[in-house]
Each structure stands twice: as C-alpha cells, then as structure tokens.
Amino acid sequence: MDSRATPLPPEPSVWQRLWHFFSLFLLLGGLWAGGRLLWQREPIYFPVRVIRLEGEVRHLSLPALQSRISSRLSGGILTQDLAQLRAGVEALPWVKRAGIRRVWPDRLVIWIEERKPVAYWGEDGLVTASGVVFRPKSDAQPEDLPRLWGEEDQAPMIVERFLRWQESLAQQKLQLVKLVRSAQGGWMLYLNDGLPLYLGTSDLEGRLQRFLIAYPAIEAAGRPARIDARYSNGLAVRWYTGEQD
C-alpha cells in the first residue's frame, strides 16, 4: 500500500486572484446593467394590453373606472404596482373592495364588489346595511329607495333601527319610506303616502308596538293625517277632514 501523500495543487498567484475578482466584478456589473436596461424597457417589451373586469357592476360608472385605472398604470405586466392600482379603484365611491391579478403575458384582471345601498342618506348620499355612507357623483343612482336623515356618525345605529322597524311595519302592510332622527334625538317615521308617525326620544320600541296594535282600528276609522305616539299610554291622531291636512 502506497503511503505517500498526494501533493497539493499550487496556490493561485496574486495576479490570478485579481483576475478572478475582476472577472466576477465584470459579470455582476453586466448582470446589473442588463437587468436595469430590461427594467427600464419592460413596459415596452411586456406592456399591459388587456384589462378584464370581473364581478357584477350595476351602478359604477365604467368610464370613471377606466379613467381611474388608466391614470394609475405605471409599468408593464411585470412591474405594475398592483397595490397602488387596487387602492385607486377602491377609492371610487361605489367600490366596496377590489382585487387585481396578473395574467401572462399582457392582461390584468380586476375583480370588483360594489356597495349595496339600502337607503338614500340625506340630500346626496347613500347608505349600506352596515351604516357606511357614500356619495357617488355622476354614477347611476338606484330608484325607489327609502331615505334616512340624521347625524352621519350615527348612521350604523339609524340603519339598524330602520331595518328592524321596516320589518315590524311590514306586518301591517306598512312601508317605511323615510326615517328622520333629529339633532335632539327625536325620531319621526314617514309611512305609506307620507303619513308621519312621531315616536319622540324614549321608549321607542314600546311606542311603536302600541301604534302597530292600534293601527287596524285607526285605518278602519278614517284617513289619518298625523299620528303622535309620544304619550305614556296612548296615541294622538289627526285626521284628514275635507281638503284640510
């Protein structure tokens, strides 16, 4: 058995080491320059050519959506800032949330969920079931919605009462077409044909129930012009008489 040690290869000289370092430097520099050039020309080589919309869009203005997207396109399919683009779309009043994804080689797919209003809010707004108030400008407006009035920071509470009272009133075939909460906390309901029902500021549920129990008798007695439930144990009814309100 040969016990002689295998000789080690000679160590590289200083010039060889410098050459290896310089070659690595050139390689990394070339890769950096090439990557930078590709990055700069990426919108030309890999442009966004198609934008596809998904989701049910009933009220959102498509020209407004197109304008919002076009103004925020900032690169090609690889470098497009999807977070910025999504934030721009979600800033549109009708958009509840949006999602954007790339589809190779040249397509962006945008998914949109619209807000679903349950009522008008004040003069120029709409409000959702969760109490979110939004104000679309020139977009298509829904028709035949009830109208709610009140302080905007109270919108969730007002909407919650509206939905609950609407369901209770429907049992008597009554429709809640308008609900007003004053700055002092008083509640006024407008029913079919604009009939006002005053509930006041306290014992709201008890007063409403008293009205619902009494309504069949009120309806049978004549045509009420106004009903005031702000009493501890009864109702005050003003009737239409002739042409007087």
* pLDDT tens-digit map of 28-44: 555 544 445 444 555 67
pLDDT at 242: 66
Q: Distance between CA 83 and CA 89 in Å, rounded? A: 10
More confidently predicted of 3 and 150: 150
Q: Is the pLDDT of residue 2 over 50?
A: yes
What pLDDT, in 10s, does the model give residues 49-88?
888 888 888 888 888 888 888 888 888 888 888 999 999 9
Is residue 152 predicted with pLDDT exceeding 80? yes
Amino acid, res. 159: V
pLDDT value for 196: 97
Mean pLDDT of the chain: 85
Residue 237 pLDDT class (50, 70, 90 cuts):
very high
79 contacts: CB under 8 Å, gap ≥ 6: 39, 42, 43
**C-beta neighbour count of 59 within 10 angstroms:** 16
Q: Model's pTM, two decimal places?
A: 0.77
Cβ-contact 135, 122 below 8 angstroms:
no
Q: Report the length, in residues, of the chain.
A: 245
Residue 139: predicted pLDDT: 59
Nearest to 134 by CA among 89, 99, 92: 92
Domains of the chain in start order, with CATH, are: 50-114 (3.10.20.310), 117-239 (3.40.50.11690)
Alpha-carbon 186 to chain mean position: 30
pLDDT, tens digit (0-9, with 9 covering 90-100), for 187-230:
999 998 889 999 999 999 999 999 999 999 999 999 999 999 99
pLDDT at 37 (0 to 100): 45
Longest dimension (CA), the chain: 131
pLDDT (0 to 100) of residue 27? 56
